[in-house]
Amino acid sequence: MEDKEMLNGWIKLYHPGTGGVQCTLPVPADTLSADQARGLYQSVQNLLSAGFTASTPGLAEGEIKEAVTHLAQRLKKNPDGSITAILDVYCGGNWKLLHLYLNTPQEIEAFTRAFGLGLSDLPVWEGDTAIERGKNSDRDARYLIPVRGVEVVYRTNPKWEGEDDRKHPKRIFVRWEPQSESPRPGAELSTTARVYADGNRVNGNTAEQQSFDRYLTIYHMQPASRDALRQWVRENAAVTA
């Protein structure tokens, strides 16, 4: 039996309903009847009338937004001897979602304003490529800084030519935005990067991050140290469960 999906092509058409939306519609090998074409039109109209939108509110066409979970910094040495900071942005996955060059004071200021961090707060990873999260826990703890409360808006790069393209990035940074979802109780008391009172950062271990957040929510203050947090977890198993 032939796979019906193999018989379909696709076409992008503009639907004028509720301000207009571009649709990608299937085109079967067999000719569509006028009634079938009107049915496709009405199906899109019904979706729009029910409240579906063509894009996320606040985003322009082609823009995508995701919550940032970790940051890392690399450095690029330029031909004139100057150094440019490279910011690797992670959104929950093991690989960076995108990277951006912080070339100007305005770009650095936008980063600092979004995260409450300076570049000096990010240790420099000396590798040539971005870190793969989860591959080396010690490396993750040292170089990947967990963050929250910020979303990155980006676009796919029309010049990107596939996985073998080393010239063009797959995604292009657009801007930072405050995370749209409501914070958990007590989250407003947290720093953007999780830091103990002794100045050491919480590592990439999920259990440690969750325990840190739980302690912060209950006591409205940071644990004194990693060892103090571990002792609190041992003594308060019912609270931390």
Q: pLDDT digit of tens for each residue in the chain (241 aa)?
A: 444 444 567 787 888 876 677 788 888 878 889 998 899 889 888 888 887 776 666 778 788 899 999 999 999 999 999 999 999 999 988 999 999 999 899 999 999 999 888 898 899 999 989 999 999 999 999 999 999 889 999 998 888 888 787 888 899 999 999 886 544 444 443 444 677 877 777 876 778 888 888 777 777 677 888 888 888 888 776 544 4
Distances (CA, A) of 240 to 34, 78, 207, 230: 62, 49, 10, 11
What is residue 191's predicted lDDT score, i.e. its pLDDT?
Answer: 40
Facing residues of 151 across strands?
A: 67, 177
What is residue 211's predicted lDDT score, i.e. its pLDDT?
Answer: 83
What is residue 154's predicted lDDT score, i.e. its pLDDT?
Answer: 94
Tokens of 56: 């996320």
What is residue 54's predicted lDDT score, i.e. its pLDDT?
Answer: 67
95 phi, psi to nearest 5 deg: -105, 150
Facing residues of 155 across strands?
A: 63, 172
Contacts of 96 (CB under 8 A, 6+ apart): 72, 88, 89, 90, 130, 131
What is residue 124's predicted lDDT score, i.e. its pLDDT?
Answer: 95
Q: Each residue of 59-81: b (16+ CB within 10 Å) or e?
A: eeeeebbbbbbbbbbbeeeeeee
What is residue 199's predicted lDDT score, i.e. its pLDDT?
Answer: 72
